[in-house]
Every structure is written in C-alpha cells, then in structure tokens.
Amino acid sequence: MIPRYSRPDMVAIWSPEAKFRIWYEIEAHACDAQAELGVIPKEDAAEVWKAADATFDVARIDEIEAVTKHDVIAFLTHLAEIIGSDAARFVHQGMTSSDVLDTTFNVQLVRAADILLDDMDALLSALKRRAMEHKDTIRIGRSHGIHAEPTTMGLTFARFYAEMERNRNRLEKARFEVATGAISGAVGTFANIDPAVEAHVCKKMGLRPEPISTQVIPRDRHAMFFATLGVVASSIENIAIEIRHMQRTEVLEAEEFFSKGQKGSSAMPHKRNPVLTENLTGLARLVRMSVVPAMENVALWHERDISHSSVERSIGPDATVTLDFALSRLTGVVDKLVIYPDTMIANMNKFRGLVHSQRVLLALTQKGVSRETAYTLVQRNAMKVWEEGRDFMEELKADAEVTAVMTPAEIEEKFDIGYHTKHVDTIFARVFGSS
Amino acid sequence: MIPRYSRPDMVAIWSPEAKFRIWYEIEAHACDAQAELGVIPKEDAAEVWKAADATFDVARIDEIEAVTKHDVIAFLTHLAEIIGSDAARFVHQGMTSSDVLDTTFNVQLVRAADILLDDMDALLSALKRRAMEHKDTIRIGRSHGIHAEPTTMGLTFARFYAEMERNRNRLEKARFEVATGAISGAVGTFANIDPAVEAHVCKKMGLRPEPISTQVIPRDRHAMFFATLGVVASSIENIAIEIRHMQRTEVLEAEEFFSKGQKGSSAMPHKRNPVLTENLTGLARLVRMSVVPAMENVALWHERDISHSSVERSIGPDATVTLDFALSRLTGVVDKLVIYPDTMIANMNKFRGLVHSQRVLLALTQKGVSRETAYTLVQRNAMKVWEEGRDFMEELKADAEVTAVMTPAEIEEKFDIGYHTKHVDTIFARVFGSS
Amino acid sequence: MIPRYSRPDMVAIWSPEAKFRIWYEIEAHACDAQAELGVIPKEDAAEVWKAADATFDVARIDEIEAVTKHDVIAFLTHLAEIIGSDAARFVHQGMTSSDVLDTTFNVQLVRAADILLDDMDALLSALKRRAMEHKDTIRIGRSHGIHAEPTTMGLTFARFYAEMERNRNRLEKARFEVATGAISGAVGTFANIDPAVEAHVCKKMGLRPEPISTQVIPRDRHAMFFATLGVVASSIENIAIEIRHMQRTEVLEAEEFFSKGQKGSSAMPHKRNPVLTENLTGLARLVRMSVVPAMENVALWHERDISHSSVERSIGPDATVTLDFALSRLTGVVDKLVIYPDTMIANMNKFRGLVHSQRVLLALTQKGVSRETAYTLVQRNAMKVWEEGRDFMEELKADAEVTAVMTPAEIEEKFDIGYHTKHVDTIFARVFGSS
Amino acid sequence: MIPRYSRPDMVAIWSPEAKFRIWYEIEAHACDAQAELGVIPKEDAAEVWKAADATFDVARIDEIEAVTKHDVIAFLTHLAEIIGSDAARFVHQGMTSSDVLDTTFNVQLVRAADILLDDMDALLSALKRRAMEHKDTIRIGRSHGIHAEPTTMGLTFARFYAEMERNRNRLEKARFEVATGAISGAVGTFANIDPAVEAHVCKKMGLRPEPISTQVIPRDRHAMFFATLGVVASSIENIAIEIRHMQRTEVLEAEEFFSKGQKGSSAMPHKRNPVLTENLTGLARLVRMSVVPAMENVALWHERDISHSSVERSIGPDATVTLDFALSRLTGVVDKLVIYPDTMIANMNKFRGLVHSQRVLLALTQKGVSRETAYTLVQRNAMKVWEEGRDFMEELKADAEVTAVMTPAEIEEKFDIGYHTKHVDTIFARVFGSS
C-alpha cells in the first residue's frame, strides 16, 4: 500500500483499529449466541458489550503480543482489561483464533468490495455521460494502430461502459464469494461450539455461514476474489492505453485535464504528458500481481497451514486499496478528459478517402466484379493515395475499369460518413437500454 | 498441449477440421441472414449449404495461405472450390475476418466449457460417493501439519465436494462470459452488415450477440474465463496435495490405486509413489500459467491489435485440454483411492490422548479455572505425553490440581470421539442437502 | 508449441528421437565408465555401442511403456532388443531413472540455449547494421508518447543492441546454470554408483557434474533459466512495441516489410498492419508465462517429487521453441524494416520549434534569469505554438522579456539540431566499441 | 511492506529521508562536475555542499509538491531554501528528473543487494555449520514422499548450502545488473549535459555509467534483478517446505525452536507448529509476485513512459524488505532448528529393511539373475514386509530362489548403512571445498 496511491476510506478498512473492532464484534455476538444456548451466563454476555464504545489500544495489544507471540490472545487479554470483570473469561469460548481471523478477513473484503462497487458506479456514470456527449463525434476506428473505418468517440466510451458494467457484475459475484464466515472450531467440526453461534455471528456481520470449513474458510473463494480484481485492473489498463494513444503528439485527439498550476516536466514546459493513465497502467500491474499468490494460497496442508496469512496481509490491503485508487483516478480522467473532435476529423482525413476503400470494394463486388478483381482495382488506386498523396475518390473516378461499373454519384455515395454511424443508436440501446 | 496429458474429445474441439467446420457454419448462416435481408440472392445462400457435408482439406487451405498469408481468405478460396459456383462470391460479404475468428474462438471455448462441466459432474459424483462412504471414518484433523482434533475422512471429501461445486458454478459463469459472438464488421459499427446477421448467426451457434464489439470481442471476457480455469486448477492442486500427504510413508492413510502390472520405480520395487497426484500438482501450474497472459491480452490498441492471437492459439487449447485431463485424472484417483481407516486411528493415537487437550482446557475453564491457569495445567501434562510418551488421560487423573476440579469420569468423558463427530450430519446436510 | 511459431532445429531437440538418442548416449557412456571401474565387463560395455547407429523405435517404446507404465524401463527393454545380447543387462546398472532423465533435460536445455545464442547473434548483427545505417537519421525523441527532444534512429537501434547484448550475456549465464548432469542414484548418495561414472558421462555430454544432487538436479537452476528467457522475451516485446508505434498511421516513421503477394486485410486493401510485431508482443507473453511455474517447481518434497515433470514437458519445448521463433522473426523484422526519414523530420516539426524549448529554458537561466521566471517565459511562448500554431522561434524573438537577455542569433542557435547529436559518436563507441 | 515482516536497515534504504539524501548527493556531485567543466561557477558548486549535513524536511517537500505536482521540482525548491543563496539556481542544470530518479533507484537497489548479500552470508554460515554437525546423522531419503534409500541430514543441509551459494552468486550478478547510473538528459543524448558529469556522479555513487540510456535506464536490468529475487525466494520456499515436512506430527525429525514463553495455539497447548517456515512459504510468494510486473515494465513507449514507476514504488521496497526479512528469519530457523536423530532412525526402520531393496536388486543382477527376475524376487519379499510387517532380511533369507544365489552373509552385507554414506565426504568436498 503506497500512500500516494491510497484513499482514506479503503485504508481505514485495513487499519488495526478497524480489525480489532471487527474481532470484538465477532466475539461479542458469539457470546450472545452462547448465552442464548445456555453455554455462558446471559449477564456475562451482556457485560462484554460494555466495551462497545471502547477504542482498542493497538500499542497495548502489540505489547502483549510481543510476550505471548499470539495476536488473538493478546487482543483477548486487552479486552479483558477493558471489560474489567470475570465476564471476560467467557469470551472466545469454544472458538479458535481462525474463527475470528478468517471471518474478519472476509468482513474486510466485503466492505472493500462495497467501496469498489461504489467506485464502479461513479466510473460507469462518467463513462455513460461521455458516451452520450460524444455519441456522434466522428473518429477513425483503428485496427493494428492503422486507420480502418470511421466510428464515433461515443462508441469508444460505450464499449468501456459495457466492459466496466461486466466488471461491476463480476465484482458483485466476487463479493458474494467471500461473504461467508466460519465459527467452526479447530478443525471445522463444531466439536466445541454449536453451529448456532456461527449462524448468529454471520447474520450480524452480514455474512453467510461457510457450509463446510476446516480451521479456515477455503481459499478458493479468495483466489476467485483476487482473480476478479485482476480482471478489473486489466480493463483499467485497457482504457488507460486508449487514452495514452489518443494523447500522443501525433494523434492528439484527447488530453488528460491539465490544471493551471501543474508543471509537466522540469525540462520541457510545453509537454502535457498522460501521466495519470500511464500511472494507471502501472497500477493495473500492481493489482494483477496478487492473482497468482492468491491462487497459490488455495492448496493448504490438511485442515490448514498458515502460509496464506502473510500473503493476505499484503495483498488484502494492497490490491483493494490500489484498485480503489485506480478506479477513482480513472473516473477523474474520464470525467475531465479534454477531447478534440476537430483533430479526430483531421486525423481521419490524413490519407484522403482511403478509409472508404472497404466500401468501394464491396460496391464493386455487388456490381458483379469478382472478389479478386475488385480487390485489385481498389488496391491499385489506394496505393496512389498512400504513396503519392492523391485523393482516393478522384482516382477512382479516373479509373476506367472502376467507372465501367460505377457512376460518379455511386462512387461519391461510398464516401458518406453517415453510412458508418447508422447503427450507433442500435448499439447504444444495446449497451444503455432503450429509453 | 502434451499428448500424454490430453483426451481426444477436448483435443478434437481444437483441431483444424473442427475450426474450419465452425468457420463454415458461421459463413453459411450469415449467408442465410443476408439472403433474408435481401442483400444476397436466396438461391446463392442456399447453394453455400452444398458444402454442408464436405470435409475441409486442411493441407489445401494451408497451401493457399502460404501464398495469401491470410487464413480466412485461404479458407474462403477453398470453400469456393468446394461450392464450385458463383454463389461463393457472396460468402463473407460485409464481414471482416475477426467476425469469423472471434465467434469461432468463443464457440470453441463454450464447447470446451461443456466438457469441463461434464468432467466436474463426474468428479463431484466420485467425491460425494467417497464422502458418504467415509462419513464416519475417524481421522485426526491437522493444522500446520500437526495433530489438532479428530475429524472424519468423509468431511475431507465433503469439503472437496463443496469446493468443486463452487468451481462448477464458476465454470458455468465462465462459460456464460464467453458465450457471445460478433458479426459487426471492421470496427464494430455494422456499417457493412446488418445487426440482424449477427443475431441470426449467434442464435444458430448457441451464442448471445456481443452488445458492443470493435473488430473483436472484448478480451476481459476471456481473461475472466482463463482466470476461472486457474482457480479450478488451484483446487485440483489442493486435493492433490492432501492425497500426497496421506500417502507419504509416515502417514500412509491412503494410496493411489496401484494396478498389478505397474512398476513403481526401476530401482525400488516396493515403492508406491503418489505419481498421479504429483502430476496433478504440476498440471495445476500449467493451467494456472495461462491466467496472466490472458489478462495481459485485455488491453488491445484501439479497435484491436492482434497481440492476443498467438497467446490464445496456445492457451486456448492448452489450458482446456490440460484441465480436462486433470479433472478426469483426479476423478479416477478419488474414485479408486485406497483408504486405510486403521492407520488413521493409529496415527491419531500416536501421542496418547493429546488430541483431546483442547477439550480438557475448555472443561477446566468451565469449572471456573482462569484461562491462564487452565492453559498451564493442560500444558504441563501435555508435555509429559509429548516428551516422555505418557498417557494424557492418566496424567490428568494424577494431577491434583486437575482432579481438584474434575472427577475421573469427567476427565474420561473428555476423551470421547463422539464429541467431535456429533455435527457431521449437520455439515453433510449443508453440503449435500438434507435427504 | 504451436507449429506456425516453430522452427525445425529447435523442435528437433525436443523430439522423442532426440531424447532417446541422448538417453542412449548417457547409458552407453555410463557403461564405459563402469567398465573402466571394473564394475561391468569391458566387452559388454563395448557391445552397448552396437546400437550407436540404431534408430530408436518410438512407437515400440510407447507400446512397452503402455504395459510397464515406466518410460525408462520401456526404453531399456527396447535397447536390449536392439543390442540383442546379454550385454544389455549391464545397462543402467546402479542408476536411477532420474539420472538419465535429468541429465537429458539439461543436455536439451543446453542445446536449446546454443540455438538461442546463435539467434541472438543474428539479431545483434541486424540491429548493429541498422544502427550504423541510421546513426544520423534525425528523429524526435518521445517521453510519455509526447515529443521531447531530437535523437536519432541509430540511437534507438543502438539501445536495442545494448539491451540484446545484455540478454546474450544473460543467456550465456542461463546456459551455464543448466549445464550440469547427475548420475548419483536414488537419493544422490552415489551408494550404487561411483562418482567417476557421473564425471565421465558429464564430460562426454558437455556438462559439469552437479556438485550435490538428490534424486534430481536442483530446480533453482531451471527457474533461473526460464526467468532469463522471460527477460529476453520482455526485451523482444520492448522492440516490438517501438515498431508498432512507428508504424501507426499518424506516425508512420517505419513499416514492417510488406511483400508483394501479401494481403493485409480481406476488407481494407490499403492497410499494412504491423502484424509481425504484434505477434511478437503475444509471443513474449507466451515465453514469459513459463517463469512462474518454473519457480513453483523449485520446492520439491524431500529428495524429489515429480510435480515438476509435467510442467517441464510443456515449458521446456514451448518456451525455447517460441523464443527461438520470436528472435528469428524479430531479426527479420529489424533487418527489413522500411524506414521513412522524411516522415521523421515532418513529425518532429509538427509543433514548430517547440521541441527546442528546453534549450531556450537553459539558455535563459544561464543568462541569469531565475529558474522560475525562465520557466514562465518559455511556457507562455510555447503555449502560443501549441494552441495557435505559431512558430516558436518567431514568438521568442517577439517577446521583449526574452530579447532583453538573448539576441536573435542566440535564439536561433538554440534551434540547431547538431546540438542534440553531438554525442552520438560517443554513445556509439560506448555501445559498439570504438573502432 | 508489512511492518511485522520488515527489518530496519532495509526499510531505511527506502525511507523518504534516504531517498532525498541520495538525490542531494547526485545533484551536488553533478554540480562539481559541471564546475570542473566550467559550465557553472566553482564557488557555487561548492556552496551546494553547504547542505551536506542538512536533514531534508519531508513534510515541507510534500507541501511544495502538492502545489507543483512534481517531486523533483519540489525537492529543488526545498534545497534552494536550505542553501539560501543564488548557487541553488545551478543545481540540476542540464539534467532531467529521471537522471536523478533512476540513478537513485539503482543506488537503492545496490544497497538493498548489499544487505541481501550479507543476509546470504549469514544463512550460508548457518547452513554450513548444521551440515557439518549432522554430516553423519543418518536419515531416510525420500522420493515422492516415500522412503527411498538412506542419506544423511548433513547432505540435506549441504544441498541447501549449495543452492544458496548459487543464489548468492546470482544476487551478485543481479546487483551488477542494476549498478548503473544515467545523467544523459531528456532523451539520453547528452544534449544539455556532458557525459563527464554522468561519469563523475556514477563514480561517486558507486555505479557504472549506463552505456546507452533514453530518458531512463533500461528496465531489462530491473526485470533481471527482480527475477533473481524470485529465484532466491523459491529456494527459501524449498528449505521451508523441507522443514515443515520434518516437523509434521508423523515425521517429527525436527522442530523449529520453541521459546519458553511462546504459546502455540490458543486452543491446543501441546501444539508446536512450524509457523516460521509456513510464514516463509507465504513470504516466498510475496517476493515472487514482483517478477511478472517487473518484466511487464520492460516495454516502455519510445524514450520512456512512466508506467513502471508506480510498480517500482511498490516492488522496490516490498520485494527487498520481504526478502531481507525472509532470509534473516530462515537463518534463525536453520540456526536453532531442533533435530531428532533418534526419530530419524526410527522412521527409517518403519518398514523393516525395505529401504535396502534396491541394493538387493542390484546384488541379484550382479549374481547373474536377469533384471526382470531379480525385480520379481525383490518385489515378492518386499510385499510381505509392506503388507504383513515382516522383516525384509529374514524374508530374503527364507526365500529359496534368493538363497540359491546369495549367501546369508551376502544378504546381511546389503543392509549395511555405511554403504550409503561412503561418498558423503566426497560430496562435502565438492560443496564446501576440501580442507
């Protein structure tokens, strides 16, 4: 977690204070359930709630852990200090540390997912707004970095919208994956604790009981969670790369918003660099790098080993904090992206009319010219445009073999931009719904 | 794709013959739709189906491609040879190569997913059968590789079942992710082809139309697909590691089935090595390695670049073929796993009664002993078992501080195995449903 | 291994025939050493060489393996069939299968590395030739995709040369890493075989004896080998991305060579797509994906488990074959790359004189203007060029605050291209050596 | 970077204070060189050293950066505040931010590598000591987790020593890879700064000049650096897994040192879990996860983009800090590992004599029995041991077909442990040198 790529709400989820607060809630709810079952006295369970407004002293817990070398015992000792009565001895009864730790981790992941879903909504909203705004802004479509056929800027935003909507959907599923808790004891048999405790705690913490756990919640759930973050990050990279291309000097169809006070480079004051999207490209790699270790974490030995723990201490906060920041940064970039429709037109016309060659090719075949011949006819005129800077339409009109089958008006009709945009509304309706 | 780790049905999906067959079907269905729209003559569209029973000559297509350096043109040329009439010139009209290639790739992935889902069903069936069979087979649960508390072998199979059922679910979602097709032209605008063609082809090929495509279907879908395969592979590794542990000489609670003719090692004839599950561990790595490149494939330049293609030519077949083989191999291993319940009991009793220390600890605290004191009482007797091979129950009965609060009968009750298995039925009902 | 991305020499290394040939040589050399030690009769050892010209029948070996389920035993059985005498029984004496398998794998990797080193030499040669050719071809340097200061095309080739020379160096080290063999028996103790056998076999096969092996050669060596291939692949991607950028329509400073017969796209005949470098981008991902599993292979259980084997059956051939193909393809691309110096000049001058702003900034501070003020002066004139298409030099000459400290001649001098190229020879001498 | 897995010396390298200190030194040395060249006044260069004892105010720099949005400008502004004279305006002259940032990053990596090399020395020393101590401690060698032939604990330590010595070697090479600096300007042409400045700064900072840089130092160097860390981490995992196996309840050949005050588990007081080596397994995954993004960082656009930066802000500190901690933790584990030679013997003898089957097999073939027959003879007696708990030697003596070719004394001789250890000294000499 790098401070400059972090936002406070997501960071807060992973603070020691937040963690101990969740531990406490799990323990207190478990006491309630145990009291309900008659395992511990109801008044003692009630007394545990005396700490409801306490702030847990992280330094004090660390101090105890330095002696006991066990974090949950350290916490329980401190909790006993706060409660200050015999009631403390009933806390954690029948439970194993992992009951608390694993359930807590999932609570944190669920809360992180909630923030990410909100981030996604903001991003979707920005993408939709820009899509509508530029629905009809003509722009050349490119394959292989080479001009192909016209499209619109709105379609570009719309496809990012569709991709991110899929990602929102995946994030919801990922949230569902990890929204389970387990209070099932040392090897998951509920030997020392009734399943009713798990049911109660999970309900209170917004989780489902894990159908079958060992000492831990199975890690395939987390692998799926982090894999999903990796896919979202890859989509962020996808949008970032598009914008970086648009901003490069020779293209210049858009620029990241450049505030007045901002200095681009200490050496070249005229430069406006797409540093936010370049940064997003890097952040995507950072989020993605948690995927493989999360998958390596799945194969724990027997009922658990603790190899996954250090990995999760790192990737839990890092991947969610970085993704939250990246989504938010991307939303800002999209929202304020400065778009240059005139440059888009100028770029498209760089090779005078050549982008319409496909239409001419089709027209020739529809006139009965064989595919091979049509290809040759188009190619020889196209090459004059490419190599000599001629105008494609004029060359066609001057080509006797072409005019033998197409009238000048028919040729001109093939250069109509409206031809390419006629289904934009259809596509928008598919993406955004018809309104 | 390694022949020894391949099964024919999955391999067939990725054969050139299968690919060209799908290409053909897409082209022929597209002709039907174009004819319906009046774009091409109905009789010509009908004539394209003349090739319905043809076998495409892969060598001939390769020969043409060697000249044209374009695979789809090579195929179309060959198709024209087969149809042998003018009708051929209408084939592929308004389409771009990617319309065919991408839709085909998704058809292949969907079919691959269908095989994987069948594999999963077989595996789930084997896991369920073994879970039921060993529901009450007592076995020590282990955390950190160290004996913890008793559990049953059935619970182990049940948790693998639950994990694989989640994976089946994920595979269904992954199948849904890639079950789209696109016939949208050079940059996805449908400029040269009506969306109705896409709708018709997709319906016929068992796909949904991609709501918004460029020249290609967006690759976040495929990233999610391969990420899911990576999670499934990780679960395979999880089961494989468990079995490898069970088979190691000192544990020997289970063995992979060892057929009579089989030689274990050229040098040590008595050895029965868990080579199938070791192999599965490696195969899991192979499937997993496709996840990162699939994610790197998402960020294509503008409306497409072709960097993803070589990656997919490799990971498409490799990951699905390997996973199919691995699931099938694992099903065989689970199905025939030789299980030794007696050894399980013997292992559990290695440290005489020590596995019950947790229960004793709890009992002491319930008798009013402080957590710290109870811990000390249990620990000092446990150490005698550990270091001197004493019997834990006897030591407790001889410890005056223990007997001051617990009667011999109460102590004995704490060593009852039934205590640990009392919720097995509950858990089984959660996993398999109550019947 | 994908046929279309494979070259025959590298593929041959990994053929069953080549593998069995190496097995045979190892076994025969081992017999010689055993005979020298008096362990087996010299005449029997000599007789083993009767198979020196034999071709091993892969189908027959597979047939035997189908029964024995053990590849080395199958091979030895077939070898005995060929030798056709009692001598066969001394073959493999005291050895374990892994002695043969692991030593063979390293022989194959060494041979693969030799081909890769040759590939590298060819690539280096092409890069050097193009660097020399375009040493003084002026071109704008870009950071963040934005014009920065002038550089030369030769410097770009020179830096790729330097990077690939480092990679050649790394490949040599990687080759050294895996150039070891082991004939040390079932757990590496030489209990059944004298270390002299290992020494003899290794010498004959061009390897060093592994100082300490278990049943296998330690896999950190192979992890380092494949990690190195991953770095080389990343450098290929680096060059590929540069060329893809140069070829994009708006930049067009270079194009991959486009042979006459080749068709770019079935739909847009004028398109010349950088498909080779896009393909190289994908191939880089494929090579790189072997790195993580190779690292996961390091942690084998005790004296060995066989989890690494399936991984290596895949990544051994795949990574080396793909990298060989990629290096060769890249060499061809570099060798024949069509370069457009005029476009480079035109691109550089797109924003009239703006690329010289850094020099002007420096000049101003050297004239005693504070850094902050100089920055402001440069920025305000630069913005006029950027936004209004003015000429930077003229604007500066018209800015009273600028002309207050710089004469027109001094301003003009700051726009001299020679200023930027004055150290090109120095850098070339650093990269290629002074000649 | 997780505090609990961090050590202060390595953390200090990555502190803002350390970073700004290096920035300052680079700038001050550059001023000296510029003064020597006559570019700036010598007295001003001297004055820059007035800040030599200053502590840079990180908060103040952050404050300035919040306005300028440029970290190097913020630093230079603060430096000017400290120097408090006109001399400040000469600082950074002709340089670009990356000259400072990239050279600094490499200084940090070199220093990190130095700590890692020291860590490695400590680890090697511990491994060597334990190897010598247990050179003759007999232990069963295992392949596939199954007993194979005897070996010694010393050989296990010796092979870890050899592996780590290779890693030390690799780390030295990795250090060499990144021990370069660049002061070459905006696109690496030295247009605004003489190469002599680079030479001087590099010499003073303990680096070599990068032969050819762009705006940045090429990232293939860093990819190789992090790939090497990944290999080292994989070797740590290798040792960790061995120890985890040794400590598992059924094996118990060793235990991590367990200090008196330490509590193993809150629930099972007798448990001594190998938590340090399990933790190391996880830490290895964390270090390894930096490899792929470091490779993805290689392909920067043209003369640089900044996508690599956020990745390096994370993996630079994280991978080195984690690896430093892991190496140190592993050294402690090895150093204090409690080893149980008696248990090793007991484990070896679990299947009475079966581990000697390979020797018997060999002996039979040496007596002239065919390989196939010998195999059968050994196998049938071995099975009695395996299945009925018989003693292998006794069974052999009772097998008429065996005694037909081997005398009882000859059979007994095959069960001599010394046979397996006779080359231990040879191997030790190969690993540690003969002394």
Q: In whole angstroms, what is the distance from residue A311 CA to residue A309 CA?
A: 5
Give ipTM to 2 decimals: 0.95
Separation in Å, CA of A306 to nearest CA in chain D: 6
Q: Are D336 and D257 in contact (CB under 8 A)?
A: yes
User: Given this chain, do its domains C1-93 and C354-414 carry the same CATH topology?
Assistant: no
Interval B244-248 mean pLDDT: 97
Q: Strand, coil or helix: what is A283?
A: helix
DSSP annotation of A213 reads -
By C-alpha distance, which of B414, B433, B430, B135 is closest to A182? B430
Separation in Å, CA of D261 to nearest CA in chain C: 31
Residue-level pLDDT at D430:
97
Q: In whole angstroms, what is the distance from residue D165 CA to residue B22 CA?
A: 55
Fold held by A95-345: Fumarase C; Chain A, domain 2 (1.20.200)
Class (C level, CATH) for B1-93: mainly alpha
Q: Which residues of D are the active-site residues?
A: 144, 265
Neighbouring chains to C with at least 3 Cβ pairs closer than 8 Å: A, B, D
- SS3 percent helix, strand, coil of chain D, rounded to 5, is 65, 5, 30
List the alpha helices (DSSP H) in C263-351: 275-288, 291-296, 307-336, 341-348
Task: Provide the pLDDT confidence category of residue A266 given band limits of 50, 70 and 90.
Answer: very low
Backbone φ and ψ of B428, nearest 5°: -60, -40
Residue-level pLDDT at C389:
86
Indicate if the pLDDT at residue C328 is higher than 60: yes
Segment C262-307, tens digit of pLDDT: 554 434 545 789 999 999 999 999 999 999 999 999 999 999 999 9
Segment D314-372, tens digit of pLDDT: 999 999 999 999 999 999 999 999 999 999 999 999 888 988 888 898 899 889 899 88
Choose, out of A1, A237, A281, the residue to mutate when testing the contact with D (most D CBs < 10 Å). Answer: A281
Cβ contact B148–A190 (<8 Å): no
Size of interface C-D (CB pairs under 8 A): 278
CB nearest to C289's CB, from B281, B293, B309:
B293
Contacts of D201 (CB under 8 A, 6+ apart): D26, D29, D30, D33, D103, D181, D183
Interval B353-365 mean pLDDT: 87
- Domain D7-93 belongs in CATH node 3.40.50.150: no
Per domain, the residue ranges of chain D are: 7-93, 96-350+419-435, 354-414
Cβ contact B266–C70 (<8 Å): yes
Residue-level pLDDT at C181:
98
Mean of the per-residue pLDDT values of chain A: 93
- Domain B97-345 belongs in CATH node 1.10.10.10: no
Residue-level pLDDT at D8:
97
CA-based radius of gyration for chain B = 30
Cβ contact B263–C68 (<8 Å): yes
Segment B178-215, tens digit of pLDDT: 999 999 999 999 998 999 999 999 999 999 999 999 99
Segment D114-129, tens digit of pLDDT: 999 999 999 999 999 9
Indicate if the pLDDT at residue A261 is higher than 80: no
Size of interface A-D (CB pairs under 8 A): 146
Separation in Å, CA of D272 to nearest CA in chain B: 8
A384 in contact with C, Cβ within 8 Å: no
Residue-level pLDDT at A265:
46
Neighbour-count burial of C18, counting CB atoms closer than 10 A to its CB (0-12 exposed, 13-18 middle, 19+ buried): middle
Cβ contact C289–B285 (<8 Å): no
Task: Provide the pLDDT confidence category of residue A268 given band limits of 50, 70 and 90.
Answer: low
Please state which CATH number belongs to domain A354-414.
1.10.40.30
Segment C80-89, tens digit of pLDDT: 999 987 888 8
Nearest chain D residue to A278, by CA: D307
Residue-level pLDDT at A384:
86
Segment D230-239, tens digit of pLDDT: 999 999 999 9
Q: Are B18 and B108 in contact (CB under 8 A)?
A: yes
Residue-level pLDDT at B260:
59
Q: Please tell me the least confidently modeled range out of A163-167, B9-13, B91-95, C13-17.
A: B91-95
In sequence order, the β-bridge partners of residue A208 are A180
Instruction: Write the DSSP assignment of A79-93 as a string of letters.
Output: HHHHH-SGGGGGTTT
Q: Strand, coil or helix: what is A237?
A: helix
Separation in Å, CA of A261 to nearest CA in chain B: 31
CA-based radius of gyration for chain C = 30
Nearest chain C residue to A278, by CA: C144
Interval D258-275 mean pLDDT: 64
Q: Are A82 and A167 in contact (CB under 8 A)?
A: no
Nearest chain D residue to B291, by CA: D292
Indicate if the pLDDT at residue C372 is higher than 80: yes
Segment D382-433, tens digit of pLDDT: 888 888 889 999 999 999 999 999 999 999 999 999 999 999 999 999 999 9
Q: Please tell me the least confidently modeled range out of B360-364, C341-345, D44-48.
A: B360-364
CA distances from B419 to B345, B422, B430 (A): 16, 6, 19
In percent, how much of chain D has pLDDT > 70? 97
Residue-level pLDDT at B94:
85
More confident of the two residues A258 and C419: C419
Choose, out of C139, C142, C144, the residue to mutate when testing the contact with A (most A CBs < 10 Å). Answer: C144
Please state which CATH number belongs to domain D96-350+419-435.
1.20.200.10
Phi-psi bin for C142: left (phi > 0), alpha (psi -120 to 50), beta? beta
Interval C419-424 mean pLDDT: 96
Q: In whole angstroms, what is the distance from residue D409 CA to residue D419 CA?
A: 15
By C-alpha distance, which of C309, C184, C311 is closest to B267? C184
Q: Strand, coil or helix: what is D6?
A: coil
Residues in chain D closer than 8 A to C179 (CB atoms)? none
Which single residue is written with the structure tokens 């007592």? B138
Instruction: Write the DSSP assignment of C397-408 as a string of letters.
Output: HT-HHHHTT--H
Residue-level pLDDT at D435:
56
Beta strand D180-181 with D208-209 is parallel
Residue-level pLDDT at A245:
98
Neighbour-count burial of C54, counting CB atoms closer than 10 A to its CB (0-12 exposed, 13-18 middle, 19+ buried): middle
B255 in contact with D, Cβ within 8 Å: no
Mean of the per-residue pLDDT values of chain B: 93
CATH architecture label of C96-345: Up-down Bundle (1.20)
Select, from the ranges A50-59, A220-229, C57-66, D252-261, the one with the highest average predicted confidence (pLDDT): A220-229
